[in-house]
Amino acid sequence: MSQPTTARTRFAPSPTGYLHVGAARTALFAWLVARQNNGSFVLRIEDTDQKRQVEGAEQHIIASLQALGLDYDEGPDKPSDYGPYRQSERLNQYKKWAESLLAAGRAYADPYTPRQINSFREQAQVERKPFLFRNHRPTNPPEWDGSMPLRFKSEPKPYKWHDEVMGSLSTGPEVIDDFIIIKSDGFPTYNFAHIIDDYEMAISHVIRGQEFIASVPNYLNLYEALKLSVPIMATMPPILGPDGKKKLSKRDGAKDLLDYLADGYLPEALVSFIATLGWNDGTTQELFTKRELIEKFSLKGIGKGGAVFDESRLRWVNGRFIRQIPLDELYQKAVGYLPEKASEQDDSYNKAVLGCLQERLKYFSEIVELSLFFYEDLPVDISLIANHKKLKKYETETLIKLLEKAHERLANLEPFNLETISSALNQLLADTEEKPVVLFSLIRIAITQAPASPGLAETISILGKTAVLRRINQQIEALKV
């Protein structure tokens, strides 16, 4: 088998929907193989099933690849020497190759109606045997006029082949069958088209999902009939849903890659997470930049078993990536996720808010919930005190007094900045002889009305004296009722 020195890999989706995580991983790995060999990454659109076309799917997929930073060198919108890159635009190629098979006696017209084939199939099912079309191969097939499907005439035999991920694979002759290569609508099937295209586009590595592994022997049979050399093949194990059994599906949540991006997951984090779903470099490294992946990735490092998509781990990965980016960059990326009223504040205020959220943020769309109190007075929620493990033991009177003392101290504080606030709070601690958990929790609840928030002094300094004093008073009033 010839091993091309420069890798040419492809991602070949059919435009029937959005790009989901599993396809994104396949695309990522193909991209990595191309990039680490200084090769080419090709996007080919497999639109041979007219019925399943989805309007806009191609654009959606392209947008997803771009968002992840998986740039391709050739594709429908990037014409190059091996185009066109949509299968619907390559019909004459498939026809040419099909006719050569026909001429060589390795293809024939399928004279049966779908109904007849169905009855063959049902019969096989009753007999609990796999359906093989070649058991019904017509002795005198009619001339192929394009109105009937064209079938490959197989030569059953056992196969043994190598898969970069799965290792050595083999099957017996019983899996080889006559499959349709040109449908009655004139379009090729995937089984035929991809082989022609991979050859004509000089693809070196075919990286795809495991749903195709059972068809590989048939492809090998076709490669032989066509006298084409076989590319390197790599089969990706499936990405599983939360139950750990079935393949990840739409039911399991938002699986459109663009949805994750819209929720405020960083492309870098998504790439790192998806790459480590089934792959790892043998060390304990958990997070990878794209550069590191290009350097370290290997198809051989991919596990053979399926991997469950664990969103909580994705959140953790994303949180780590968020913490790594400089505040200015974070601000640029996340400003749109701030609450509506953020537009009434200036950049420095909003940036300060994001700054103190950064270390605890997991994804951007939770920013509203985490930062709302920075932008508006939330209604006093008495349950925050009533349910607090320490505060609930205190008399309301005592709490009011503590708040009044805090109010007084902060009201007289000048200048009003992080440093002075911190020391004022410490003074307060000493004066009241209360534990921090009591005093600070009380003040924190008063000024945020939220179950969690950034550091108290920091929060106070961002909110400013006016808002803080107003909110403390609101809490006092609520307690008095």
If the CB atoms of residues 52 and 250 are measured against RNA, the closer one turns out to be 52
Give the shortest CB-149-to-RNA separation in angstroms: 4
Work out how close the CB of 85 gets to RNA at its nearest, in angstroms, rounded to a whole number: 13
- Cβ of 34: how many Cβ atoms within 10 Å? 26
Closest CA to 441 of 425, 456, 426, 461: 456
CB 40, min distance to RNA, A: 20
φ, ψ for residue 148, nearest 5 deg: -110, 160
**Residue 332: partners with Cβ closer than 8 Å, 6 or more residues away:** none
Local structure of 7: helix, strand or coil: coil
Secondary structure E strands in 39-79: 40-43
Burial class (CB in 10 A: 0-12, 13-18, 19+), 381: middle
Q: Are 179 and 218 spatial neighbours (Cβ–Cβ below 8 Å)?
A: yes
Structure tokens at 126: 């009753």
Residue 325, number of CB atoms within 10 A of its CB: 16
Q: Shortest distance, CB of residue 433 to RNA, whole angstroms?
A: 13
**Which pair of tokens denotes residue 123?**
């019969």
3-class DSSP state for residue 280?
A: coil
> Do 457 and 410 form a contact (C-beta atoms < 8 A)?
no
CB of 5 to RNA, least distance (A): 28
Report which secondary-structure segment, H or E, holds 195. Answer: helix 190-200
Is 233:206 a contact under the CB 8 Å cutoff?
A: yes
Catalytic residue among 129, 250, 341, 392: 250
Nearer to RNA, 121 or 401 (CB): 121
Does the bond joining 76 to the residue before it have cis omega, within 30 degrees of 0? no
Residue 234 structure tokens: 């790599």
393 is catalytic: no
CA distance 397 to 400: 5
Closest CB to RNA among residues 347, 369: 369
Q: 356 or 476: whose CB is closer to RNA?
A: 356
Cβ proximity to RNA: between 350 and 448 the closer is 448
State the nearest-atom distance from the C-beta of 429 to RNA, in Å: 5
- Residue (6 or 426) nearer to RNA, CB: 426
Active site residues: 250
